[in-house]
Chains A and B, each alone.
Chain A
Amino acid sequence: AQSVTQLDSHVSVSEGTPVLLRCNYSSSYSPSLFWYVQHPNKGLQLLLKYTSAATLVKGINGFEAEFKKSETSFHLTKPSAHMSDAAEYFCVVSDPQAGTALIFGKGTTLSVSS
């Protein structure tokens, strides 16, 4: 079975400082990994995805993530936080045994202060 662990339930940063949201996964297969963002009262939006191509994945809004198989990690980073980045972030792994259903981490709330 596949699972994903988001190591921080809440991360607080100041505007203009770097963002690091940590994610570790467990998988018996070659996983596909995703980061989704959920703003209040809005739907989930795909930030980026890793599907066995380049290990450093660039996404929207300046976010990127690096797939590290040796560490089973897929941490999300951004060099400089913006107030609009404040949201809930989910690390997600695909489960091939369940077709294309997604397995969600518990989420990390990112707060950005001015």
Chain B
Amino acid sequence: GAVVSQHPSRVICKSGTSVKIECRSLDFQATTMFWYRQFPKKSLMLMATSNEGSKATYEQGVEKDKFLINHASLTLSTLTVTSAHPEDSSFYICSAPRLGAKETQYFGPGTRLLVL
């Protein structure tokens, strides 16, 4: 099956620093990738849609200047949490639909961010 990886799997950082999270589709190309946030005991909340070669589309209430998304190639999207604060601590998950198989999404294993 298709594989999506995320790196790092876990990161701890100081308040005020920036953290970059990578999402890669390992064996297929994805012109679109999605970034979700999951709080403890909560559902996944869509943050933004990452589009290869163009600007990301953010959901209402998500600060685009705080959560920078870059989709540099057909297999890589990055989410940078800028000037992180403790309230940004969460589990971030990316997903990618395989080209030609729009209904099937492949999820990364997630990145747990802890901001001290």
Q: Chain A residues in contact with chain B, CB under 8 A?
A: 32, 36, 42-46, 49, 51, 90, 94, 98-107
Contact = CB atoms under 8 A, between A and B. Distances in A.
Contacts of A106: 42-43
Contact of A100 (B4, B45, B105): B105
- At the interface, is chain B mostly helix, strand, loop or mixed? strand
A101 B46 contact: yes
Interface residues of B, number: 22
B43 A100 contact: no
Interface of B: 4, 32, 34, 36, 41-46, 49, 93, 95, 97, 102-105, 107-110
Contact of B107 (A32, A43, A49, A94): A43
Nearest to A103: B46
Nearest to B42: A106
B29 to A, nearest CB: 14
